[in-house]
Chain A
Amino acid sequence: MSLPYVSTFVDDFVRCAGRFPSEPALVFPDQTTTYAELLALVQGIRDWIDSEIPVSERRIAVHATQDVFTYAAILAILASGRAYVPLNPHNPAQRNGSCLTQADVATLFQSGAETEISVWVLEQRVPVEIVNLRTISSNPSERKPTPVRESDMAYLLFTSGSTGNPKGVPIYHGNLRRFMKAFLGEMGFEFRQSDRFLQMFELTFDLSIMCFAAPLAIGAACHVVTGSGVGFLDVAKTLQRGKISVALMVPSVLSFLESYLDEIDLPDMRYSLFCGEALPSLLAEKWHRCIPSARLFNVYGPTEATIFCSAYELKSPLDSAGEYQGVVSIGVPMPGTAFSLISETGDCVAPGEKGELVISGAQVTDQYWRNPEKTLAAFTVRSGEAPAYRTGDIAFAAEGNYYYCGRADYQLKVDGYRIEAGEVEHHARTLAGVRNVVLAGQAETNGRVKLHLFLEASDIDQEALRTACKTHLAEKLPSYMLPQRIHVLDSFPLNQNGKVDRKALISGVHQE
């Protein structure tokens, strides 16, 4: 028995284009595309897909640069009932090649004649046809999007697998619909057609999908931060000049902007959301002052559970129930999603105890793409039940709210003692001048783990800070928790998604 057809955010976008044709849909620093213009582009590409690509080809890859053709291609692929597979233009061609091969696609869209990946495809003689989106021209038809079922794939993202090959995460229309329903309809957000959403993410990072799909579904504008300049400076500029009213960002933006917060005033902001890594409560409190009319949320969720799946609203001043070890709560699961906490043996933990967070519900996908081994290790799929996903995140619950305590892999064991990085980081974060903190372990040749504490601080006497930190931690923590080495850096390296790159921090130590 096949599932019934369902509508997607692309149907909503098409309807909005009919109602608000001359309103801005995508706003780039140097160009604004209206709903009518975007729809014409989408229909043109979609017509091309339907006439040139066999129905059996269910996935199409997109070289995901930040321009209007790429966004139009994503919408067109979805409108044709197929799934899109974004490739990050900043990734090495070989890595993108691995994604192309794994995704088993036969067509790659790109906005331009030649890219690193298209050169690689030709050199390696990979059987993938490369299509320059800018050369597709047609008289766009007015056909409605091809109907899809909940079990049809919407997108396939590759996460940076810790070792070797990237891991594919397929998200289905059922998952995405459940997210959109909760976010736009059930969580109490009152989004308006006049809203201006920020889109600061690479299209290979699933937070980007909320940032363009939500506004396009309601007739609002999506302001895209392009990578032409200096990442977070451009974010700040877009927030200010675009009079952004809804912004989903990573906390690293705040760490970077911290010393300039007194220059930032965003009276138009209505909803400010953070996701992607732990949100330090002190920083969130300072940010509150920049957004006097906004509601502030910390949201949480892995790619496997579709964009994000829990939320906590921060009131100002933040009460103590809202944080744990200086990090803001990840709140309660969104409608349609349930959380549970399990011990290492797989049993439910006692109330208040820490455990690995397991997410179940309609937003959760059921597998890693063509990877039964990794799927089995992380997913539980029982017939008639929603899939459950083991996140690898350690959390605990108190009075209904969940609190993130760090990655299970970051739990460090030194001389048999279990050390939670978050606890050490919390105490170090309270030192004056310290913007961000990471505790990481490094295995020595004798098998012992050495603790390295990294402090992000500029304009400071580094030696004095190291001494102050040592003294401070020694007063607060048992000796086995004390880091052997303290490193002070002007700025932390970030990965492509704008999160602190722990691996790069530790590998920097090797070079010393």
Chain B
Amino acid sequence: MASIQPQDDPRVEIQRVVEGIFRDLFRDESLTIHTETSAKDIEGWDSLAHITLIVAIEKKFGIKFKLAELQEIRNVGDILALVKTKTGK
């Protein structure tokens, strides 16, 4: 299998950008996210913060989530996968 440099991997780039959005929203510069991170892991990630988060991600990547897609989001991994599909990366 050919090795991929981390900076070339779109998944890493998407995760980095999304992490930045999380840090801004939850006002925590040291916050790190993983695919398994979910609402119960981050204090303040309630339904209102979720909407703000989704809107911020949509803006940043210039995409629009469908309702059915939003309903399936259970953790950060789901968000990253959706962004990846939607941005075609």
Contacts and interface: CB of A to CB of B under 8 A. Distances in A.
A491 B59 contact: no
A230 B47 contact: yes
B67 A459 contact: no
Interface string B52-81: 100110110000101110110000000000
B55 A233 contact: no
A232 B55 contact: no
A449 interface: no
B67 A231 contact: no
A257 B67 contact: yes
Contacts of A491: 48, 51-52, 55
Given A231-B47, A459-B59, A490 B52 contact: yes
A459 B47 CA distance: 19
Interface in A331-372: none
B50 interface: yes
Contacts of B50: 230
A233 B48 contact: no
Contacts of A256: 51
A316 B70 CA distance: 30
A68 B51 CA distance: 29
Interface residues of B, number: 16
B67 A490 contact: no
Contacts of B47: 229-233
B70 to A, nearest CB: 6
A144 interface: no
| From B39, B50, B51, B55, residue with most partner A Cβ within 10 Å | B51
Contacts of B64: 259, 459
B29 to A, nearest CB: 19
Interface in B15-69: 39, 47-48, 50-52, 55-56, 58-59, 64, 66-68
Contacts of B70: 230, 233, 260
Interface string A232-263: 11001100000000000000000011011001
A260 B64 CA distance: 10
A459 B55 CA distance: 7
A458 B68 CA distance: 19
B58 A263 contact: no
Given A490-B52, A491-B55, A233 B66 contact: no
A459 B61 CA distance: 12
Contact of A233 (B52, B58, B59, B71): B71
A149 B66 CA distance: 52
Given A236-B67, A260-B70, A263-B68, 10 more contacts: A230-B50, A230-B51, A230-B70, A233-B67, A237-B71, A260-B67, A458-B55, A458-B59, A459-B59, A490-B51
Interface of B: 39, 47-48, 50-52, 55-56, 58-59, 64, 66-68, 70-71
30 contacts: A230-B39, A230-B47, A230-B51, A231-B47, A232-B47, A233-B47, A233-B67, A233-B71, A236-B71, A237-B71, A256-B51, A259-B64, A260-B66, A260-B67, A263-B66, A263-B67, A264-B67, A458-B55, A458-B58, A458-B59, A459-B55, A459-B58, A459-B59, A459-B64, A490-B56, A491-B51, A491-B52, A491-B55, A493-B48, A494-B48
Interface of A: 229-233, 236-237, 256-257, 259-260, 263-264, 458-459, 490-491, 493-494
